[in-house]
Structure 1
Amino acid sequence: MRGWKVMKRSEVKLEETWDLTPLFDSEVEFEKAIDQVKLESKHITKYKGTINTADSVIEVIGRYEKLMELLVPIGSYANLSLSVDQTNEEAQLRAAKVGQLFSEINAETSFITSELLELDKSALEEAEKNEPNYSNYLQKLIRKKPYQLHPEVEKALAALGTTFDAPYELYDTTKLVDIQFEDFEVNGKSYPLSYNLFEGDWELEPDTAIRRTAFDAFSSKLKAYQHTTAKTYDMHLKIEKTEADLRGFNSIFDSLLFEQEVDQNLYHRQIDIIMKELAPHMRRYAKLLQKVHGLEKMTFADLKISLDPTYEPKISIEESRQYMKDGLSIMGEDYVKMLDRAFDERWIDFAQNNGKSTGAFCDSPYGSHPYILISWTSRMNEVFVLSHELGHAGHFHLANAHQNIFNAEPSLYFIEAPSTMNEMLMANYLLQSSNDARFKRWVISTIIARTYYHNFVTHLLEASYQRKVYEIIDNGGSVNASILNNIKKSVLEEFWGDSVEIIDGAELTWMRQPHYYMGLYPYTYSAGLTIATQVYKRIQSEGQNAVEDWIKVLKTGGTKSPVELAQMAGVDITTDAPLKDTIAFIGSLIDQLEQLTDELDK
């Protein structure tokens, strides 16, 4: 931990921040781009009522493509500026302005989809034949036909886009602006608290008294905002349910899975099998943590601690660059050049400051390079977080370079596979770099605590909770703080059994996750890591051929379904075999941790 002071954005080092000038050099250029996009949008409205031939289909999609390419940097600039400091009023107003702009343009251009779907199929097929680059766009459009509403209704829904996004914005404002944490005290010493300090440091703190006191203080503050946050979430759920009903989907699950191009079987299987078959392995891991740390009881507040906290190395930002290059070098020379660019050109925002979004993410605006947000704590496990986000960056860097804007983004079901693959590659590199038993135990425990716990446990338990919430909404019900707390607590108790005490405050973890405002996103982490684990094992056994297959998959973007993308990489996700094999692999890692711990104890 570099220090306990929570800095203002204006106080952080420039070299630890990202450089947004490749998007726009200045506010003047940003405003010019908005004027240009408004003008282009007006030009497109001239096509209204004229889309009646294959040639006119190609022409209007071409103009729409250009409009989308103009919109992307505007949206990214506004969102990225706000994400590093939610307290910045100028950034708040800019983001609100852009949100309204997007709603207006979506409303103005909604006629394109409506008119295309009113055409005879022969005209669309001829357009596909004459311009294959738009084939994927048209095919995905045709899939939507059964759920397309009257053109005027579609226009109204598009115009209300900002309103529909309001719950997520309200959630973020409550979380990152209104909630201000007081310092907490342990044995007469005072410690500062914030979202990023808790999730980046105190949750991992080896001192049990400090860690548990921080958890209590953090949870106590969350509790004061539980009713507002629950009402905000319920509002979001009602919007999703209303749209699903309007469009004629059988359930809210079908509606949300539609864009992912997977059915409910893949969704439910992921949750059901992990809840049942992974739980025994993770309970063993919890017991091992309890034993090594000499804890009288294992509580929810103890689950994120390191197996060997006195051993975990510290790492600087500059040192992390070499780890990225060495650990991910198997991906090839071009990939390593991209990693250098990410550091040299300041694609990454490392700073810790007040108002910054929690966690980490990667935004990859089409036509520019990716941007990564992370709050650097100098803990060695950050190499896994950074390699994860660089996995997203590498994916879209390749997809954007080889696909048009319509074809670049794959299904949400697949989106976490490239990121978690990088974590596996980094872990393998670290394991190969030393024969020291203690170091090996640290690496394997980090794979469990970071890669698999984060993606297969934290996010999967979110998914299990989320499914129960959507079942209530789908049956016409509503949720409040009490209901959400009870659901979250029951899911945690089901998974951890009597191996972990689900203490007061654990039930409030639903308040911490923005993923709930992104549809059925949480379960996709385990789906992506299932694919990644299987491809990683292929790379271990087959070498370069498997790597080349994987690079091809990354370049393919969203031109194929998740099942097809996995097949390209040599994985069949139409069966439960990859998932069961991945769970067995996790079990084998925990076996190794137990054996290494016994060896070190002796």
Structure 2
Amino acid sequence: MTVATNRLPKRNEIPDEMKWKLEDIYASTEKWEQDYQEIKSHIVKIQGFEGKLAESAQNLLDCLKVQDQLAEKMGRLYAYARMRRDEDNTNTVYQALTDRAATLSVQASSATAFITPEILSIPEETLKRFMSEETGLELYHFVIHEILRSKEHILSPVEELLLAQAGELAQGPGTIFGMLNNADIKFPTIKDENGYEIELTKGRYIQLLESKDRRVRKDAFEALYETYRKQKNTLAAILHASIKKDVFYARVRKYESARHAAMDGENIPVEVYDNLIQAVHEFLPEMYRYVRLRKKLLGVEELHMYDLFAPIVKDVEFKITFEEAKQMIAKGLAPLGEEYGKILQEGFNSRWIDVFENEGKTSGAYSWGAYGTHPFVLMNWQDNMNNMFTLAHEMGHAIHSYYTNTTQPFTYADYTIFVAEVASTCNEALVLHHLLETTTDPRERMYLINHQLEAFRGTVFRQTMFAEFEKITHEKVEAGEPLTPELLCQIYRELNLKYYGPDMVVDEEIDMEWARIPHFYNAFYVYKYATGFSAATALSQQILTEGTPAVERYINFLKGGSSDYSINLLQGAGVDITSPKPVRDALEVFKKLLDEMEQLAAQVQ
């Protein structure tokens, strides 16, 4: 299918076979309503355990079981409503469904808020006796251990209830930003390479920045950021409110900082964050070298921010349809074995994927789902190499979820965000290796190597820059400084100057980029892209060089869910991310690829 470029299609104009099949979660809204009512009854049921957990091992076990049942149904209910809304954010039916699910989720959190502080009030000797008396509690040993680990940050039952009830308010900044960014903000039209008017959208933005026509790139760049600049005061206020929320929760729970609070949830030492920034700073001269090479190959006197996505290899263009992309990905992931390949094909053939952009659809790409059903992938497909790699990336997430959901009980099926990017990025690395192995044309090889250099730039360097922005902005709020639009732009500009070096013209428009990054509303998340990319680089090399033993370790890692700490799961797969070595090793790969790129550039000129 080719979607017309002069306007976005409406949702009902997209063929069903190119839409995800959310009926696999709920066959109808009526089924959703049934679960909605059941969750209400579970809420009442779990409230009956309050004050009784210390009475017997049976009470503790029954309460934890009901909590799991409640969480499983709540996850399914919310995922369905939100994914329906993501199909078209202007659809008021699914706006309402999502709001109801969010409200019910807060009610569920409030109803279960007593559990953790009440478990902490039970003497450890009694807890040990309960676990030896009741074999059913074996399932919850790790859960209980985690509760005890966080003991100093858990408040009284009354305080935990208040925090849970404030949950809906805490979602406010992210929800408001999402509606503004996905439903309300409108971009102007610009003229394409042929002089035709084309509506600028977030989904088309990168495609326009990849245009060979520099005027198109510049027009798209300026139009996008001028639109955000008009909303700078509102956007700064929303982000400031979100960061204040992070700081509030960290202080209430007696953490040293919001960063410490965010990382403690997954038991990740703060040093991992600091090591990442330090290692990337060490390799910034290599980024400056890449910028110089890009400037040279583009043949421009000045390299601007809108030139970062322009093709630098002449006479090579990979126009890849969705069907072609699926075939290329399947071949690239063949080293992961037959079982992995079968799951991949099931995802391709059973409508796990929502393919094309339409009016009101949430931008970008993600994988999501609920326990008890297969995962889903949202795309906004464009026929190019970047989208092919994005599809490989999101299917990595999806198959990771498939493995954990079919291997782990619900309690441990949801893997942590820290390891989430490993599976997705490993997929990308394996697909790239396949493509490099199957081409002998030096220009095609340059094109592919540059794609990987761009992956490093976007996932290691850029995400680390984002991480540094989050660190600085949170520290300023913690010090009592207000985040004005001017200050946010200043911080962001200084980081761009640091990360791109003397050969890059840091255009004034890029100072507003902070205003359009949705991950900033899930603070201290983005660093995990960089650490995940580094771990994935190491694991893909092991899979390609060791074969079956490395594949088995890797698949076991994918099945691990949250049954152990993320760091331990990665160590089992063969990577120690507590050390800066994986990041440095990954950046050495960047350096070697850059060496080859410079050599190939000299040959073809």
Q: TM-score, normalised by structure 1?
A: 0.96
User: Using the alignment, how far apart are the partners of 2:382 and 2:352 within structure 1?
Assistant: 18
**Equivalent position of 1:220 in the other structure:** 226
**Equivalent position of 2:427 in the other structure:** 422
**Equivalent position of 1:572 in the other structure:** 576
**Equivalent position of 1:261 in the other structure:** 267
User: Using the alignment, how far apart are the partners of 1:74 and 1:475 within structure 2?
Assistant: 40
User: Using the alignment, how far apart are the partners of 2:96 and 2:461 within structure 1?
Assistant: 37
1:296 aligns with 2:298: no
User: Using the alignment, how far apart are the partners of 1:121 and 1:352 within structure 2?
Assistant: 54
Contact residue 288 and residue 594 of structure 1 kept, 8 A: yes
User: Using the alignment, how far apart are the partners of 2:375 and 2:317 within structure 1?
Assistant: 30
Contact residue 2 and residue 377 of structure 1 kept, 8 A: no
1:41 aligns with 2:46: no
Question: Is the deviation greater in 541-550 or in 451-460?
Answer: 451-460
Q: Deviations over 1:408-440 (max 9, x none)?
A: 233322221111111101111111122222222
User: Using the alignment, how far apart are the partners of 1:84 and 1:599 within structure 2?
Assistant: 47
1:80 aligns with 2:83: yes
Q: Of residues 233, 236, 240 in structure 2, which corresponds to 1:230?
A: 236
In structure 2, the CA distance between the partners of 1:332 and 1:364, relative to structure 1 (3 Å rule), is: farther
Q: Of residues 561, 565, 576 in structure 2, which corresponds to 1:561?
A: 565
1:308 aligns with 2:313: yes
Q: Deviations over 1:514-547 (max 9, x none)?
A: 1111120011101001111111222232111111
**Equivalent position of 1:100 in the other structure:** 103
Q: Of residues 22, 25, 28 in structure 1, which corresponds to 2:24?
A: 22
User: Using the alignment, how far apart are the partners of 1:117 and 1:73 within structure 2?
Assistant: 29
**Equivalent position of 1:194 in the other structure:** 201
Q: Deviations over 1:32-67 (max 9, x none)?
A: 110111112211111112111222211211111111
1:114, distance to aligned residue in structure 2 (A) = 2.1
In structure 2, the CA distance between the partners of 1:400 and 1:454, relative to structure 1 (3 Å rule), is: same
Contact residue 432 and residue 448 of structure 2 kept, 8 A: yes
**Equivalent position of 1:386 in the other structure:** 391
Contact residue 191 and residue 197 of structure 2 kept, 8 A: yes
Q: What amino acid is aligned across from residue 93 of structure 1 in structure 2?
A: A
User: Using the alignment, how far apart are the partners of 1:335 and 1:364 within structure 2?
Assistant: 19
**Equivalent position of 2:181 in the other structure:** 175
User: Using the alignment, how far apart are the partners of 1:124 and 1:392 within structure 2?
Assistant: 36
Q: What amino acid is aligned across from residue 117 of structure 1 in structure 2?
A: L
User: Using the alignment, how far apart are the partners of 1:406 and 1:371 within structure 2?
Assistant: 21
1:251 aligns with 2:253: no
User: Using the alignment, how far apart are the partners of 2:10 and 2:484 within structure 1?
Assistant: 34
1:574, distance to aligned residue in structure 2 (A) = 2.7
User: Using the alignment, how far apart are the partners of 2:567 and 2:346 within structure 1?
Assistant: 32
Runs of 4+ aligned residues of structure 1 deviating over 6 Å after TM superposition are none
1:369 aligns with 2:374: yes
1:190, distance to aligned residue in structure 2 (A) = 2.4
User: Using the alignment, how far apart are the partners of 1:303 and 1:283 within structure 2?
Assistant: 13
Alignment of 1:486-497 (within 5 A): 486-497=490-501
Q: Of residues 533, 536, 558 in structure 2, which corresponds to 1:532?
A: 536
User: Using the alignment, how far apart are the partners of 2:479 and 2:52 within structure 1?
Assistant: 43
Q: Of residues 151, 154, 161 in structure 2, which corresponds to 1:145?
A: 151
Secondary structure of residue in 2 paired with 1:21: helix
Secondary structure of residue in 1 paired with 2:374: coil
User: Using the alignment, how far apart are the partners of 1:10 and 1:90 within structure 2?
Assistant: 15
User: Using the alignment, how far apart are the partners of 2:85 and 2:453 within structure 1?
Assistant: 33
User: Using the alignment, how far apart are the partners of 1:430 and 1:401 within structure 2?
Assistant: 31
**Equivalent position of 2:325 in the other structure:** 320
Question: Is the deviation greater in 80-89 or in 545-554?
Answer: 80-89
**Equivalent position of 2:119 in the other structure:** 116
Q: Deviations over 1:140-193 (max 9, x none)?
A: 111221111121111121112111101101001111122111112479642321
User: Using the alignment, how far apart are the partners of 1:128 and 1:87 within structure 2?
Assistant: 50
User: Using the alignment, how far apart are the partners of 2:314 and 2:100 within structure 1?
Assistant: 46
**Equivalent position of 2:471 in the other structure:** 467
Question: Is the deviation greater in 112-121 or in 383-392?
Answer: 112-121
Q: What amino acid is aligned across from residue 12 of structure 1 in structure 2?
A: I
User: Using the alignment, how far apart are the partners of 1:2 and 1:600 within structure 2?
Assistant: 36
1:587 aligns with 2:594: no
Alignment of 1:479-518 (within 5 A): 479-518=483-522
Secondary structure of residue in 2 paired with 1:476: coil
1:356 aligns with 2:358: no
Secondary structure of residue in 1 paired with 2:508: coil
User: Using the alignment, how far apart are the partners of 1:70 and 1:574 within structure 2?
Assistant: 35
**Equivalent position of 2:68 in the other structure:** 65
Secondary structure of residue in 1 paired with 2:341: helix
Q: What amino acid is aligned across from residue 359 of structure 1 in structure 2?
A: G
1:267, distance to aligned residue in structure 2 (A) = 0.8
Secondary structure of residue in 2 paired with 1:184: strand
**Equivalent position of 2:9 in the other structure:** 7
In the alignment, structure 2 segments of 5+ residues that lack a partner are: none
User: Using the alignment, how far apart are the partners of 2:283 and 2:88 within structure 1?
Assistant: 38
**Equivalent position of 2:169 in the other structure:** 163
1:431 aligns with 2:436: yes
Q: Could you tell me the percent identity over the aligned residues?
A: 27
1:128, distance to aligned residue in structure 2 (A) = 4.3
Q: What amino acid is aligned across from residue 158 of structure 2 in structure 1?
A: E
Question: Is the deviation greater in 486-495 or in 107-116?
Answer: 107-116
Secondary structure of residue in 2 paired with 1:391: helix
User: Using the alignment, how far apart are the partners of 1:417 and 1:369 within structure 2?
Assistant: 20
1:284 aligns with 2:304: no
In structure 2, the CA distance between the partners of 1:404 and 1:476, relative to structure 1 (3 Å rule), is: farther
**Equivalent position of 2:405 in the other structure:** 400
Question: Is the deviation greater in 6-15 or in 20-29?
Answer: 6-15
**Equivalent position of 2:480 in the other structure:** 476
Contact residue 86 and residue 356 of structure 1 kept, 8 A: yes
User: Using the alignment, how far apart are the partners of 1:559 and 1:526 within structure 2?
Assistant: 23
User: Using the alignment, how far apart are the partners of 2:81 and 2:311 within structure 1?
Assistant: 37
In structure 2, the CA distance between the partners of 1:394 and 1:88, relative to structure 1 (3 Å rule), is: same
1:572, distance to aligned residue in structure 2 (A) = 2.0
Q: Of residues 311, 336, 345 in structure 1, which corresponds to 2:341?
A: 336
Secondary structure of residue in 2 paired with 1:372: strand
Q: What amino acid is aligned across from residue 305 of structure 2 in structure 1?
A: F
Count residues with an aligned counterpart. Answer: 598
1:452 aligns with 2:461: no
Contact residue 57 and residue 124 of structure 1 kept, 8 A: no
1:269, distance to aligned residue in structure 2 (A) = 1.1
* Pairwise CA RMSD: 1.6
In the alignment, structure 1 segments of 5+ residues that lack a partner are: none
Q: What amino acid is aligned across from residue 592 of structure 2 in structure 1?
A: S
Q: What amino acid is aligned across from residue 392 of structure 1 in structure 2?
A: H
Contact residue 277 and residue 583 of structure 1 kept, 8 A: no
User: Using the alignment, how far apart are the partners of 1:95 and 1:577 within structure 2?
Assistant: 43
1:211 aligns with 2:220: no
1:2, distance to aligned residue in structure 2 (A) = 5.1
Question: Is the deviation greater in 115-124 or in 126-135?
Answer: 126-135
Q: What amino acid is aligned across from residue 254 of structure 1 in structure 2?
A: H
